[in-house]
Structure 1
Amino acid sequence: MVNVFLYAPQDFRNLCVLARTLEVLGHPECYVFDPWRLVRDRYGKARSREMRVVSAGAFEKIRWRRVEEPQTFLAEQTGRVVATVADASATPLTGFEFIAGDWLLFGSESSGLPAEVAASAHRSLTIPSRGATQSLNLAVSLGVVLFEAQRQLTR
């Protein structure tokens, strides 16, 4: 299995969709550097309802692991750190070989991973794009990459 690390996600609804994707793919936990405090122990009534509806109940099934110092945390891990980037010079997902224990890093919706975080990764990968749009939605990207990692590692 691989590990998932979100770096500063910004959109709560997107995080709910992402939780649904993680849960459907059987991935029970997610590490997150969360400066916007999207992941909380408790939510108000309206936010709780939104969370349940958008995530189809999956949000509460994920073990969210908050990380305060992401670069220090990642440097201490034993697996490869793999940055997902919208950069044609990165290894295309179709040519990338995952290893059990990899740490998959996903950046924020608006700006991706900070350059220094991406540069500190052992490897970087990209989802090849044929269209004119700059990149995929964060939750969609995570689903595509995590599905491929699981496909490779469960052959």
Structure 2
Amino acid sequence: SIRTLVFAKAGRGNAAVEKVAARTVAAGGTVLEVSEKVLAAITRRENPQMVVGVFAQQTVPLKDIRARDGDVWVALDRVRDPGNLGTVIRTIDAVGAKGVILVGDTTDPFSLETVRATMGSIFAVPVARATEQAFLAWRRDFSGLVVGTHLKGAVDYRSVDFSRGPVLLLMGNEQQGLPDSLAESCDRLLRIPQAGRADSLNLAVATGVMLFEIRRGALKLDTTETR
């Protein structure tokens, strides 16, 4: 739901801009025509795009999430970096996963930095927020496979069969990883083998690796069923 539309004077007469402006007014929103200098101040960019929109924040109640076969959800524990969160949301969109559950005190999913890192995927990926206690209560009714990456994980992430039922991928905080309470809620703790000296991967990179492996398993199932 759009609340405010701000556009540069150069956008005047643009059919797409005028269409959105009309929809904004019809929805009871505000339309502002401003200079590029004002747009630069709003967006914090020297060369801003012609149009900026302000939208109502929208989250999904955790209780309304009912995972089905083939669904993939990602739960993130206390993410601190908005760039990481935005990149994860973008990756969730890219692999066709269903959405993200933010557990505990996380960075704002609607902050400027997070939204920018999503590259528009914030509009396509459902976001739910929950306390750790509420998440663990919801997880007890999750009928599929719950996996998490952990430094103590004994199972290679490439050896798991992700092709049956819904999957919940649980990823930990950038500094501390998964706390014991969340790690114990996983059906399997996985590891991503590394060859160098680094002791861990960036959160967004590790989540991307896991999501594409889960997607590969789902595609394998599709191929098998087609045959």
Same fold (TM > 0.5): yes
Confirm or deny that 1:5 pairs with 2:93: no
TM (norm. structure 2) is 0.60
Does the 8 Å contact 1:67/1:73 carry over to 2? no
Residue 13 of structure 2 corresponds to none
* Structure 1 position 10, deviation (Å): 1.1
Which of 126, 129, 135 is 1:66 aligned to? Answer: 129
Residue 211 of structure 2 corresponds to 146
More deviation, 104-113/56-65: 56-65
Confirm or deny that 1:120 pairs with 2:146: no
Residue 158 of structure 2 corresponds to 94
Does the 8 Å contact 2:102/2:128 carry over to 1? yes
Show CA shifts across 1:123-153 (max 9, x none). 1111111111111111111110110111111
Distance in 2 of aligned mates of 1:36 and 1:125? 23
Residue 104 of structure 1 corresponds to 169
Show CA shifts across 1:102-129 (max 9, x none). 2111011111110121123211111111
Confirm or deny that 1:78 pairs with 2:143: yes
State how many pairs are aligned: 147
Gaps of at least 5 residues in structure 2 are 1-69, 221-227
- How well do the aligned residues superpose, as a CA RMSD in angstroms? 1.8
Structure 2 counterparts to residues 132-143 of structure 1, below 5 A: 132-143=197-208
Confirm or deny that 1:17 pairs with 2:17: no
* Structure 1 position 33, deviation (Å): 0.8
Name the amino acid aligned to 2:76. Answer: L
The structure with the largest alpha-carbon Rg is 2
Confirm or deny that 1:55 pairs with 2:111: no
Q: What SS does the aligned partner of 2:217 have?
A: helix
* Structure 1 position 52, deviation (Å): 4.2
More deviation, 50-59/89-98: 50-59
Gaps of at least 5 residues in structure 1 are none
Residue 105 of structure 2 corresponds to 35
Counting aligned pairs with the same residue, the percent is 30
Distance in 2 of aligned mates of 1:29 and 1:61? 9
Does the 8 Å contact 1:3/1:102 carry over to 2? yes
CA separation of 1:127 and 1:59: change in aligned 2, threshold 3 A? same
Name the amino acid aligned to 1:23. Answer: D
Does the 8 Å contact 2:77/2:106 carry over to 1? no
Q: What SS does the aligned partner of 2:184 have?
A: helix
Does the 8 Å contact 1:28/1:61 carry over to 2? no
